[in-house]
């Protein structure tokens, strides 16, 4: 699930379910005059253990990638 959690004219947090989706959104916002603040973040939003009987076989993780961005106008205020 891709979404923008918070979006104002000066500050935004971009999210995506995959790295390439986040890169696309960051590039679009950069063209609009935003710059990245800090590093991107990756969080596990869901984990599921898979078993065969009582034997653990695998764990599935769903990840969310995010990047905070701020308008250049805020950074370069006179």
For 30, the domain range is 3-71
Asked if the structure places residue 76 within a domain, the reply is no
Average pLDDT over residues 36-60: 95
Residue 58 has pLDDT above 80, yes or no: yes
| Range 13-38 average pLDDT | 96
Would you state the pLDDT for residue 1? 46
Pairing mode of beta strands 55-71, 11-16:
antiparallel
Among 75, 69, 77, smallest CA distance to 8 is for 69
On the question of pLDDT at 13 being above 60, the answer is yes
Please say if the pLDDT value at position 45 is more than 80: yes
How crowded is residue 64: how many other Cβ atoms within 10 Å of its Cβ?
19
Q: Does the residue 52 lie in any domain?
A: yes
36 lies in some domain = yes
Question: Is the pTM here over 0.85, yes or no?
Answer: no
In a domain, 21, yes or no: yes
Phi, psi of 77 (to 5 degrees): -70, 145
Report residue 74's pLDDT band, with 50, 70 and 90 as the boundaries: confident
pLDDT of 78 over the 80 cut: no
The structure tokens listed for 69 are 């961005």
């Amino acid at each position: 699930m891709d979404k923008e959690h918070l979006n104002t004219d000066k500050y935004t947090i971009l999210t995506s379910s995959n790295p390439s989706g986040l890169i696309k959104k960051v590039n679009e916002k950069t063209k609009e005059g935003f710059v990245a603040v800090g590093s991107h973040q990756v969080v596990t939003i869901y984990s599921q253990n898979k078993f065969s009987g009582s034997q653990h076989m695998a764990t599935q993780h769903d990840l969310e990638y995010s990047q905070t961005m701020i308008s250049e106008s805020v950074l370069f205020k006179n």
